């Protein structure tokens, strides 16, 4: 055989090259379906159905947490339910962990207000005293117009009288009420058993001069002192050691001399704020209506159990007690320790009533018997 021409060599070379390339293509296609190079984003697309993406790509974390940016997780996965004891109701979402959203555990706990004290009362009470009431700057020559509290004080003048005083004591006892009796010295000497009855029922005694002398305050000072002391001695004769903490001037005709004499003997001058003028005998209905219409918290009420026919006062007392006992605390004026010589007392004082403070400006009182 002769040698291969150049043309033949070119054909052979072309065929061999085509075969090599064909074989290489087939081999590469076969290997590329299983181990071929990964395409950008292919892994993320492959996991899109599960909602979990690679942390490096900024997607939701595989452990079910939230995105760093605080937005909701993408895909179909739901947020996990907290385990019991984590402070959330079952079925609620887990707390955010992003610093821009304070967690429930780190949120400040609201301050718990202190508990209200049982029985606390924001009302301002009246003054509390340990003995008889102090002078009243609003009264004539410092004489008391009020009780110094919201409680109301009923006072009965000119007794005792065996016709009317026992009836009044019985009515007060029926209502469980105590009062103040301003007694005249000569009546105390004549009816010591009534002084004892007054004291036995827990009422307060008040000196009302020896013979109901309206002009006593105009007399010499020594005479005034002797009159008041004599009355105190008559009371002590009926009830040894009796305490007489108050003095009421007959007719309300006060002078500085008689007020000073009363204080010298340890007594607080006592006036009144409500005067129904019962000593004029206007009728029981008028007396009761006047008292119930004009009384106010802290008032000292003037009534009479002697000095004339006081049946109007006795008859008026029942409706007065029915009305006032529903509206006020009714008290006997407070007392202190007895004076060693005259049976009178010194000191200051009245306990507050249950309705608040007494009215300070009782106004001008009417002069009564």
Residue 214: inside a domain:
yes
| C-alpha span between 187 and 194 (Å, rounded) | 9
| C-alpha span between 69 and 344 (Å, rounded) | 89
What was the pLDDT predicted at 133?
86
Binned at pLDDT 50, 70 and 90, residue 357 comes out as very low
From 326, 297, 300, 331, select the one nearest 123 (Cα to Cα): 297
Residue 270: inside a domain:
yes
Catalytic residue among 157, 213, 278, 312: 157
> To which H or E segment does residue 252 belong?
none
46-60, 112-126, 285-299: which range is least confident on average? 112-126
Sign of CA dihedral 118, 119, 122, 125: negative
Residue 253: inside a domain:
yes
Q: Is 158 a catalytic residue?
A: no
Residue 85: inside a domain:
no
Higher pLDDT, 134 or 249: 249
Residue 46: inside a domain:
no
> Would the pTM count as exceeding 0.85?
no
What SS3 state is found at 229?
A: helix
Catalytic residue among 191, 212, 271, 304: 304
pLDDT (tens digit, 9 = 90+) per residue, 267-289? 999 999 999 999 999 999 999 99
What was the pLDDT predicted at 57?
36
Residue 322: inside a domain:
yes
Residue 351: inside a domain:
no
CATH number at residue 166: 3.20.20.370
Q: Is the pLDDT of residue 139 over 60?
A: yes
When pLDDT is averaged across residues 12-22 and rounded to a whole number, the result is 61
What was the pLDDT predicted at 131?
65
Q: Is 275 a catalytic residue?
A: no
Residue 271: inside a domain:
yes
When pLDDT is averaged across residues 342-362 and rounded to a whole number, the result is 32
Count the domains in the chain. 1
> What is the domain range of residue 282?
140-331
């Amino acid at each position: 055989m002769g040698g291969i021409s150049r043309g033949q060599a070119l054909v052979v070379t072309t065929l061999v090259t085509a075969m090599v390339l064909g074989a290489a293509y087939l081999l590469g296609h076969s290997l590329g379906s299983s181990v071929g190079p990964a395409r950008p984003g292919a892994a993320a697309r492959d996991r899109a159905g599960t909602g979990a993406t690679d942390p490096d790509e900024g997607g939701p974390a595989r452990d079910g947490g939230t995105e760093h940016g605080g937005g909701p997780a993408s895909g179909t996965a739901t947020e996990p339910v907290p385990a019991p004891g984590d402070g959330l109701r079952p079925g609620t979402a887990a707390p955010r962990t992003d610093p821009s959203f304070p967690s429930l555990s780190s949120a400040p706990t609201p301050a718990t207000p202190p508990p209200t004290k049982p029985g606390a009362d924001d009302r301002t009470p009246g003054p509390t005293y340990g003995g008889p009431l102090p002078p009243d700057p609003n009264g004539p020559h410092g004489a008391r117009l009020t009780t110094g509290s919201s409680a109301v004080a009923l006072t009965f003048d000119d007794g005792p009288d065996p016709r009317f005083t026992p009836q009044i004591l019985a009515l007060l006892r029926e209502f469980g009420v105590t009062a103040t009796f301003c007694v005249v010295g000569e009546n105390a000497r004549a009816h010591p058993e009534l002084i004892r009855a007054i004291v036995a029922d827990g009422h307060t005694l008040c000196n009302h001069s020896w013979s109901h002398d309206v002009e006593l305050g105009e007399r010499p000072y020594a005479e005034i002192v002797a009159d008041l002391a004599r009355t105190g001695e008559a009371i002590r004769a009926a009830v040894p050691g009796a305490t007489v903490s108050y003095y009421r001037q007959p007719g309300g005709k006060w002078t500085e001399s008689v007020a000073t004499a009363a204080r010298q003997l340890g007594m607080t001058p006592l006036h009144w704020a409500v005067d129904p003028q019962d000593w004029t005998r206007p009728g029981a209905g008028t007396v009761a209506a006047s008292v119930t219409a004009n009384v106010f918290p802290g008032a000292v009420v003037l009534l009479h159990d002697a000095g004339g026919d006081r049946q109007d006062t006795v008859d008026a007392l029942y409706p007065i007690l029915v009305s006032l006992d529903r509206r006020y605390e009714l008290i006997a004026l407070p007392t202190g320790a007895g004076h060693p010589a005259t049976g009178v007392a010194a000191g200051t004082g009245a306990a507050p009533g249950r309705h608040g403070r007494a009215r300070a400006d009782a106004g001008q009182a009417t002069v009564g018997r």
